[in-house]
Copies of this chain bind each other. A is one copy, B any other.
């Protein structure tokens, strides 16, 4: 399963040291530039491989791909070809990029295939059908419980039995680089007699990972934890923007709504499960034992470093959080098995986010709510400024990468600036 490839791979493409987009990664995304309409590319170092040009030139001719499959505005149709096909495309590109492979390296078309990443604009990688957000970090759920409920019984009774989740808003998922507007809404602080209306005063990020489904199911069918991975195409970084004051007033009894639905930001490159395979680790032990349909043997988590930075207007970024995807109590396989156990059907391009990924230490908390502990412990930025929540003009940047031996597989970043209420 998660053994390191025995061979060290080298490529003829310029890959800066510590690049997230190594020859081991090869994530898929949708890009365009001044000259090119939206299309599917694979990132490698400072370049993007334009798959549509490769295809036209016959480099995938033995795979019988539908014509124009890479000349698309989303990855959905490509992903829908199924893992055996998409895997093969990625493997073929990896082969073409190997240092000693001459096919593309010495081909006259090379200049047209290899696009500068710097000059490309990254778009939403998929058209998201349904978006689900889980709540799978025990540290995060415990912190929230301590702050808002009983510190002695911080976890709710169902938490260790089900990967708690809820449906989110798909329309407002946006790619890195798109600014967001501070949301307006109703809130009622304990000291207010009546609810008030205005811009949120407690805008927050949530550090999450999300997976994109790659295979549909029919209504009434379920996915087992064992088969779950075959239904996952890949992952992105996910910033689940949250307005804490709006959320607090609205969420009982039907859950978060306008406190979340104004925006969620994702990183634009979809890192495949294949690229993440070497970084799999066992998840935390689950006590009490879970019900049969949630049982999972083996390595279901990913050892993936996660970081959050805040950059106030025109100033440099300060790291405010250092977490890891491996902290998750519930694995993605368990999330997907739970999501479908009632027969809920999944489509290609659904997005399922992890919930805030917090660790055990105070510097690993995945939201301002926790980092500044409900506003009681403001955090200091390198600029000298303090933050309890996110202010207008702040850019929030999330990064994620896995490292092992010589291999580095990363996500680049999801970066979004907060603009004042529109």
B-contacting residues of A (Cβ < 8 Å)? Answer: 129-130, 135, 156-158, 161-162, 164-172, 174, 180-181, 183-186, 188, 194-195, 197, 219-222, 243, 246, 249-259, 261-263, 288, 291-293, 338-339, 341-347, 350, 422
Contacts and interface: CB of A to CB of B under 8 A. Distances in A.
A100 B220 CA distance: 51
Chain A binding surface SS class: loop
A345 B167 contact: no
Contact of A184 (B157, B251, B342): B342
16 contacts: A161-B195, A162-B250, A164-B254, A166-B255, A169-B344, A181-B219, A181-B220, A183-B343, A195-B291, A197-B291, A197-B292, A197-B293, A243-B342, A253-B255, A255-B255, A261-B344
The 5 nearest A-B residue pairs measured at CB: A255-B255, A220-B422, A183-B342, A181-B220, A167-B167
Nearest to A133: B254
Contacts of A293: 197
Nearest to A255: B255
Contact of A251 (B129, B243, B253): B253
A295 B249 CA distance: 19
A250 B186 contact: no
Contacts of A342: 183-185, 243, 246, 258-259, 261-262
A258 to B, nearest CB: 4
Contacts of A346: 171
B255 A129 contact: no
A156 B253 contact: yes
Given A186-B291, A252-B158, A343-B184, A165 B257 contact: yes
